[in-house]
Structure 1
Amino acid sequence: MKIVDFILLFFLSFLLVSCNEDFSPFGKEKEEIILNCVLKSDNPFQTAYLGRSFMVTNFNPASDKQDRSIRNGYIRIWYQDSVKIFSDTILTIQNNSTNGVAAYYNKKFVIQPNTQYEIEAEFDNGRKLHATTTTPKEIKFLPNRPTIPPENGNSVSVGWVSDNSEIFLYKAARYTIVYFKNENGKRVRYVKEVPYQYILENGNYIPFFPEPSYDNKITVSMATFDRALREISEGDPNKSNYTILGFILEVLVYDKNLTRYYASKADLSSSFTISINENDFSNIQGGRGIFGSFIKKRSSLKFNQDYIRSFGYLAGLK
């Protein structure tokens, strides 16, 4: 079972930060029921998490190795005239000493843009948690997108248009490079993320990916593309083993709930007390947590084959 998206949900249930007049590094303990579920448009495999909040004796919530997940819950999501039931399972988190955590999933749940979804988690004792999300509308990419490298300038810039009612939703954009690598006579497909920029730190170039923002444009320098392309075959002298298939722009548009969650994180640096009694953002009625959604929009960019060959690679689709 895939666990990439679940890991986000798991760590969303960690303690958040607030401020208190009488300074203490840790707030008072109060157990809360946590429900986290982020619906995604690019994958029909949807996941949810139920758990209990907890206190730690240091500033690292990940130091707690106990399984705080809740089993035998009943999760449903309604939309329009349909309902989706989530099954429970056990997932193992890498680098975590627990035997596994309970998660809930539906592997045939395709969400649509501009649609309201309502989640309910119910327990044997009759307690219920409830929340709603409305998926964002689709964005539209501006015409006349540049090639890689561009005919003019030293950066690749692509913009998009959002509905007027959604200009204040957070977006996260990234370029990716899709390529084949010959491995033991077989072509294996890979995807390389292109960072927003590389930061030189102690002689090493560290990729930097910004937090989501309200921006409706992404601009990345050709120097960054050059370094990302070189990293694909770093340490491998046989560059002809690599075939560049294309450059893809991906834009995630977050709903109002995720936008508020990410916006609240910006205030954490000015807070001093770890507490579960006052968290940064929750939209779960009857408990704590996040029920949100995002849609993903993709666009391919044309590239110059001579540019690809200059790295020693083969050029695939143009």
Structure 2
Amino acid sequence: MDQFFYYRKKKYSINSNGVFTKKSFSNIALIKYWGKQKNRIQIPLNSSISYSLENVYTVTRLIYHLKEKKRNFSVRVFLSGKEKTSFIPKILEFFHRISFYCSYLRDFNFVIETENTFPHSSGIASSASSMSSLALCIMEIEKKLVPSLKEDFFFKKASFLARLGSGSACRSIYPGLVVWGGHKSIKGSNNLYAIPYPYQVHPIFTKMGDTILVIDETPKQISSSKGHQLMNCNPYAKERFKCANKNMDRLISILKRGDLQDFGELIEHEALSLHAMIMTSSPYFLCMKPNTLNVLDKVWDFRKQSRKNIYFTLDAGANVHLLYPLQEKKFIMKLINNDLSSYCKKIIESFCI
């Protein structure tokens, strides 16, 4: 199936230089992906599903110039106007991975200008939005080379390429609920690219708020790539993968029924399971901070007392996503501003798109 995305090079004419700008949203996983197959590039060991998030995105501007001679890849990278040479090795690794499918990349010099609306490398999926926006820019070049490219192929290949840069990036190609990883109960799901969730969703889950409490803006102490590798020797990994796939079956039913309490229980269990894997790896490490735990405790207490539908989830970091129906936002934002704001450095109001 990989061959399906191979660019069959023909003689082409393209302007000697050009620029494409694409915007891509971060995402928050409900069923978490943590662990990759050995000896395969970015293939998950369980299926995952996420919401894409409004107001939490990356804008990437890809400037290209045709080279006279094909040599190694040529890339310069800027983040918020400042050159970032430290980003180049990851971009070059990404270009090498996708060069079989995008052979035209060797024909150009590239300048990548990127900007986030949220802290970079702090566990809010900045690699997902940045790699997906870059993949979309690259596909715009391919579309210029092949004007007959179909829209469905454009987005499938963009998701396929984004995955090779950052696994969860393949889900950021699409809005709404997005699935990555083959699952027997989800038609069309596969390990190579993400697909929009194909089944019925109760209206309550199409209008969900997501407020991010930024508790720690500093880069994570260990990269997600390293964390995934540690699952290869985690004694609880096999049970975790089984549990994640069972939870996907549960979520399919929940999304159809519109059961908010079951939804909240499931996503909180998933978040804590992810952090349990992090804390039981070898070497073990801890992503949560004291204020992360303070927030979780406050949310539990508040929900018990108010009976409002507010639930948390976390990626592999200290920052907390609070999910709730938008119809309850006014009441919940009052809680956040009055009782939770003191625990965090920044509050990002968003919603699931």
- Shorter-chain TM range is under 0.3
Higher-RCO chain (CA-CA 8 Å, sequence separation at least 6):
1
**TM-score scaled by length of structure 2:** 0.20
Q: Which has a greater percent of helix?
A: 2
**TM-score scaled by length of structure 1:** 0.22
Q: Which has a greater percent of strand?
A: 1
